[in-house]
Amino acid sequence: MRRMQVESLVPGMKLAKTIFTSDGRILLASGIELKDNFIDRLKLNGITEIFIEDEISSDVEVVDVVSENTRLEAKQIVKNLMEQKNFADTLSSDKVKELINKIIDELLANDDILVNLANIKSVDDYTFEHSVNVCILSLITGIGLGLKGNRLKDLGVGALLHDIGKLRIPEEILKKPSQLTVEEFEEIKKHTVYGYEILKDHSNINMVSAFIAFGHHERFDGSGYPLQLRGDNIHQCARIVAIADVYDALTSDRVYRRKLRPHEVIEYITSLGSHHFDKEIVQEFIKYIAVYPIGTGVVLNTRERGLVIRADKNLPTRPVVRVVFDKNSQRLPTYYDVDLSKKLNVFIMDSCEL
């Protein structure tokens, strides 16, 4: 399978990964042949890219770090919570904790975690999908940092619910498709305090999770909000979630901007490692992110173009690439694979659509 922009799809292509609606129903099943009305349906549901399968990619598998069922369950829990007006009456902390335990178990069963962005994101469901992704990315990082037991679980709960304070923000501000005014942005910033108040008052949620909601927009150099906390004064778990939050936000399409590519976001986060973020946590976080995810098209310095078919966590910028187009953009009659970890004079210059 390989990732492809919906705007580049043509009828006859084969869908490689099932796409679900926001309430967990199947929108389009894997293996289906795409038609014009199916492509229109994807666009109407705010989906900007999907996985297709063709002769280039039939043997390429993109595996998510958690199961499809677990991701759907997590998204539904967040959706149910965020669509309620009275959080305290609707939150089942037991259900949330059971979910976090399930995610942790699945991550710990994976000996070689590498996040390949296997989930299909929808612009319309950004809030729910973002919370789930931030939770997964934070737990992966927490495991890498050696967090265990209740501390790891509290990290997961806080990461999943880090934006719960947005329940108290007017919807017209949250969903505004254009730039916010200064006053509107000040209102948005209050979601950190609101989230802290909601979680600290819940008897079955640890204060660590509340500190995450409060501090995930604080920055290591004191430039964040709400209290401009610095360094270790920001709770470690909030420092973890801050990085996961920015990474997922920037790699997601929004109504008002297109997403950045993983290697661009990693470069951005790394460049801010000793300013906005905790440098040690950044170094741990990027260990588990595929710089060029499997199923992504890339341009080599030879001007050839190809598909990333395997990635190595220890050499994130040097995956195995299936070369599909020559330097003159002519499709090759026979594809060949090049292992960039062995062919050191060849390297990736950029990602692209094949």
pLDDT score recorded for residue 253 = 76
Asked if residue 105 has pLDDT above 80, the reply is: yes
pLDDT score recorded for residue 255 = 65
Q: What is the CA angle 220-261-330, rounded to 5?
A: 155
Considering the chain, tell me which residue range(s) the CATH 3.90.105.10 domain(s) occupy.
2-53
Average pLDDT of the segment spanning 300-314: 93
CA 267 vs CA 30, 50, 136, 291: distances in Å: 33, 25, 21, 10
CATH superfamily of 68-288: Hypothetical protein af1432 (1.10.3210.10)
Q: Is 103 exposed, middle or buried (0-12, 13-18, 19+ CB in 10 A)?
A: buried
The DSSP H or E segment spanning 61 is none
Confidence tier at 275 by pLDDT (50, 70, 90): confident
Which residue would you say has higher pLDDT here, 122 or 330? Answer: 330
Q: If we measure between CA atoms, which residue out of 231, 315, 310, 317 comes closest to residue 267? A: 317
Give the pair of three-digit tokens for residue 164. Answer: 């719960």
Average pLDDT of the segment spanning 103-109: 94
Task: Give Cα 58 to chain centroid, integer Å.
Answer: 25
CATH code that applies to domain 2-53? 3.90.105.10
pLDDT score recorded for residue 94 = 83
Q: Which of 144-153, 168-177, 233-242, 263-272 has the lowest mean pLDDT?
A: 168-177
Residue 22 CA neighbour count, 13 Å, CB half: 18
**pTM score of the predicted model:** 0.91
**What is the DSSP pairing of strand 49-53 with strand 297-300?**
unpaired
Average pLDDT of the segment spanning 168-192: 90
Average pLDDT of the segment spanning 151-168: 95
pLDDT score recorded for residue 249 = 92
Q: What proportion of the chain, given as a percentage, has pLDDT over 70?
A: 95
pLDDT score recorded for residue 256 = 64
Give the pair of three-digit tokens for residue 185. Answer: 């942005």
pLDDT score recorded for residue 22 = 72
Mean pLDDT score of the chain: 90
Give me the amino acid identity at 266.
Answer: I
pLDDT score recorded for residue 104 = 96
pLDDT score recorded for residue 118 = 61
pLDDT score recorded for residue 254 = 73
Beta-carbon neighbour count of residue 242 at 10 Å?
A: 26
Confidence tier at 44 by pLDDT (50, 70, 90): confident
Distant-in-sequence, close-in-space partners of 8: CB < 8 Å, separation ≥ 6: 353
Q: Which of 142-156, 212-226, 261-275 has the lowest mean pLDDT?
A: 261-275
Which residue would you say has higher pLDDT here, 131 or 126? Answer: 131
Considering the chain, tell me which residue range(s) the CATH 1.10.3210.10 domain(s) occupy.
68-288
pLDDT score recorded for residue 132 = 94
